Structure 1
Amino acid sequence: MVRLKDIAEKAGVSTATVSYVLNNKGNVSEETRKKILKILDELEYKPNQIAKSLKTRKTSTVGVIVEDITVFNAPEIIDGINECAEEHGFSILLTNLRLYKRIGNNFSNVDKCKHLITNAVDSLLSKQVDGIIYIGVHTRNVTGLISEIDKPLVYTYCFADSGYSVNYDDEFASFEATNYLIERGHRKIALISGLIDSIPAHERFNGYHKALMKHQLILNPSYVKTGDWSYESGYKMAKDLLQQKEPPTAILAMNDLMAGGVLEACRELGIQVPQDLSVIGFDNRECSLYYTPKLTTMDLPLRKMGAKSMEKILRLLNGESETIEMNTKLRCRLIVRESVSSPR
């Protein structure tokens, strides 16, 4: 193992000078700096990161706890975190809780898994991470799942009272999707909601309602159906809607899986999309590209959420807490494909 002493002797300088160059500090001439860097390269010197972290009490490592890595939102968020971390010389330690596998959509049971979360946090803190990012499996309030820690903590795809968070604006996204349908001439617009106890479902309903009110359209209760985020519920709710005496000319489904169920119901009933019915989904999942017709949908800024979460950690580490927005909401983007047209 190459030591600082070996480099100093070869360069004819003190070990302190070598240390200054390694840490980009001190008043070292450019000529000496270049000479030491050349020797470092020749000797293939690798700094002892463990010893350095013990001295500085920083590891340039961020812990990432993901509730379930198999859920569609997680990979892109993690990639955004990783990319931002690499750009700033940081690495990540990833822990997967597998909550969706354990409790599914029944988030009232999450307390049964709280010990897993506590163990994950304790494990990361024992590895001296500089901060922690917590990625939810579904947007909800997770206050109390993580006890107070003395490291920066940022939540994404979830939030906590008095905690830093990064999410997307569900209400505005639903408003934009509904407004797009209205601008295309639709007046009879139905909504297939997610689970009734879901915060995103509530916010997306609010956005839908606000768009109707903006254009002085009356909310028809028979056009609002509650699904459970599944393909099957989208299929069932669409059949109920499309067999009404006055069926809608457009359906906004609160996710792409339920929108796929809507398309299946249309095929069975002989309804052509978009000629007879326009359909918009939500999430821009990969399946939306392979439906027939290709699905118009709202794209979630998942990668940006990950990057923004990492940026908040970095700013907190730099002591900028007073200037950081507590709860950041990013805008979604409408992806126009083939499933919407003007009504006949």
Structure 2
Amino acid sequence: MDKPKKSVRRKTSGVTIDEVAALAGVSPMTVSRAINQGKVRDDTRERVMRAVQALGYTPNLAASTLAAAQHTRIALIYTNPSGAYLRELLVGLLRGASNAAIQLVIHYWDNLDPVAERRAARALAGRVDGVILPPPLCESPVAVTELVQAGIPVVAIASGHLRDDVSCVRIDDFHAGKEMAEHLIQHGHTRIGFIRGRNDLSASARRYDGFATALHEAGLEVEPSLVQEGDYTYRSGLEAAEKLLSQPQPPTAIFASNDDMAAAAISVAHRQGLDVPRDLSVVGFDDTSAATTVWPELTTLHQPIAAMADAAIDILLRTIRQRTDDSRVLTDHVLPHRLVMRDSVAHPPKR
């Protein structure tokens, strides 16, 4: 009776990435970057490819794709004063980074002067493959110039217009501001206060332009006393709302350029014994968590912040993987906004 044959497990004789690294005199991570068109010096890439050819190394495509993603470092640089906005942004970034299996690094630049900002940008450029700039840094000439000159792909989030130096992910701030103003006018408001955002951001200017256009089209004048400056912080919203509501003829509605300042306006109204929305309508912008943590909940303009962050990662990854030394493709990705109606708007009171 023949004995059953034993199964034989053959040993593989494939070349490993460690052997390629040893022959080329570099680290396995550098080998992975070189093979997957990552960021390495030209002479290093040539040395790695000679080692690959000499050893007959065949990379595992699935593993190399994953490795390339894991070795891709995307930086978020923020100095946004709105905690609610930042939370929405991080949700999208963390989701996008997890789905793409990339490394996300976060840097906080707190009130850096131009010299310090230039130094920080130069240092960062040598450590990452791409950068995401939310407001207000999305329009910092120092940061953008340094990163672009270093050859680092940059995506600006929520810039108010198409740029010719970096890719953008944004909404149409002009039409969003116009739509919100028209919503108040349709409710019968003719004296509408406006709290502006930061004056160094184009998105702030575009929202105001949309507001002013809606008033002009309705035959209403923009009264300078009904337009107050803010900087997207809750405190600036308090100060602006107090100025608006202390006038001899106060507005019957306030349109704030973000939800934090709108929430502050509601607080000032309550402090003065006004009922929102019976005595005063208040609307915001962004649709962050601040819009639903005040009473009454805010009517606001939904800006898809998390989706914008997700799109920014996608644009950066495509740029990093497809870029060549002699070409640079910029993307202007405009996402739809949406008017969210809640409980903070009513018809103006009868005088």
What TM-score do the two structures reach when normalised by structure 2? Answer: 0.72
Cα deviation, 1:229-282, whole Å, max 9, x if unaligned, reads: 333332333233223332211110112222222112212222111001100012
Structure 1's unaligned 5+ residue stretches are 1-8, 20-47, 125-130
Q: How does 1:294-333 map to 2 (within 5 A)?
A: 294-317=297-320, 319=322, 326-333=331-338
Q: Does 1:117 align with 2:121?
A: yes
Separation in 1, partners of 2:290, 2:236: 17
Separation in 2, partners of 1:178, 1:146: 37
Separation in 1, partners of 2:221, 2:146: 41
Structure 2 equivalent of residue 156 of structure 1: 157
User: 1:246 is matched with which residue: 243, 249, 272?
Assistant: 249
Structure 2's unaligned 5+ residue stretches are 1-7, 18-27, 39-67
User: 2:103 is matched with which residue: 87, 92, 98?
Assistant: 92
Cα deviation, 1:140-174, whole Å, max 9, x if unaligned, reads: 24331314244543333458642212223322221
Q: How does 1:1-344 map to 2 (within 5 A)?
A: 10=9, 15=14, 51-58=31-38, 59-60=68-69, 61-68=71-78, 72=83, 73-87=85-99, 89-96=100-107, 98-99=108-109, 102-103=110-111, 109-124=113-128, 131-138=129-136, 139-142=138-141, 143-150=144-151, 152-158=153-159, 161-317=164-320, 319=322, 326-344=331-349
Separation in 1, partners of 2:196, 2:151: 39
Please tell me the root mean square deviation across aligned C-alpha atoms, in Å. Answer: 3.2
C-alpha contact (below 8 Å) 2:130/2:320 kept by paired residues: no
Separation in 2, partners of 1:53, 1:323: 20
More displaced stretch, 285-294 vs 236-245: 236-245
Identity %: 25
Shift in alpha-carbon separation, 1:12–1:231, aligned structure 2, 3 A: closer
Separation in 1, partners of 2:202, 2:282: 23
Cα deviation, 1:312-336, whole Å, max 9, x if unaligned, reads: 2243345489996633332332222
Report the CA distance between 1:341 and its aligned residue.
1.0
Separation in 2, partners of 1:233, 1:304: 28
C-alpha contact (below 8 Å) 2:158/2:203 kept by paired residues: no
Shift in alpha-carbon separation, 1:229–1:83, aligned structure 2, 3 A: closer
Shift in alpha-carbon separation, 1:308–1:324, aligned structure 2, 3 A: farther
Letter in 2 for 1:156: I
C-alpha contact (below 8 Å) 1:133/1:310 kept by paired residues: no
Letter in 2 for 1:92: Q
Separation in 2, partners of 1:331, 1:227: 25
Letter in 1 for 2:76: V
Report the CA distance between 1:201 and its aligned residue.
2.4
Report the CA distance between 1:218 and its aligned residue.
1.9
C-alpha contact (below 8 Å) 1:65/1:95 kept by paired residues: yes
Separation in 2, partners of 1:111, 1:323: 27
C-alpha contact (below 8 Å) 2:131/2:152 kept by paired residues: no
Report the CA distance between 1:70 and its aligned residue.
7.2
Separation in 2, partners of 1:260, 1:195: 17
Shift in alpha-carbon separation, 1:223–1:152, aligned structure 2, 3 A: closer
Report the CA distance between 1:92 and its aligned residue.
2.1
Letter in 1 for 2:102: S
Report the CA distance between 1:182 and its aligned residue.
1.2
More displaced stretch, 240-249 vs 70-79: 70-79
Separation in 2, partners of 1:195, 1:154: 20
C-alpha contact (below 8 Å) 2:135/2:157 kept by paired residues: no
The alignment of Structure 1 onto Structure 2 pairs a total of residues equal to 293
Shift in alpha-carbon separation, 1:334–1:179, aligned structure 2, 3 A: same
More displaced stretch, 322-331 vs 137-146: 322-331
Report the CA distance between 1:303 and its aligned residue.
1.4
C-alpha contact (below 8 Å) 2:77/2:131 kept by paired residues: no
Q: Secondary structure at the match of 2:213?
A: helix
Report the CA distance between 1:206 and its aligned residue.
0.4
Report the CA distance between 1:132 and its aligned residue.
0.5
What TM-score do the two structures reach when normalised by structure 1? Answer: 0.73
